[in-house]
Amino acid sequence: MEPLRKIRKFENFHILLWLVKDLCWVTLSKPAGIIMIVPTLALALFITWKNRKNREELMHNIAICMWICANSIWMIGEFYLHDSTRDIAVIFFVTGLLSMLYYYFMELLNGSYRSKKN
């Protein structure tokens, strides 16, 4: 199996894990939600590591890891800390956003974005 297709299977399974984690959150299934953080984040980190040689994939996957961290912190805050962790979650959301802004800024600076569209 070619490497890209193999990674895609992990990415698709990762979506399932993420949806289960968030379903646990909205249904207030606290123990299951907390447990689901581990495989969801672990697989996101694995995918990020596997894509580390491709700058585009790496930067997008870093943003995804930051998003899952922020999302998980927010969930824990709602479950156990009277929703007092949003400020911490914002740090992770902003870090993910900065990785995306950096990537697209560098693409524009290098002219890569324009040449890919043509």
Cα–Cα–Cα angle for 48, 92, 87, rounded to 5 degrees: 165
Bigger pLDDT: 6 or 53? 53
Residue 2 DSSP class: -
pTM for the complete prediction?
0.87
The answer to whether 68 touches 44, Cβ cutoff 8 Å, is yes
Query: What is the per-residue pLDDT across 5-26, written as a single tens digit (0 to 9) for each?
Result: 788 899 999 999 999 999 999 9
pLDDT of residue 111: 80
The percent of residues above 70 in pLDDT, for the chain, comes to 91
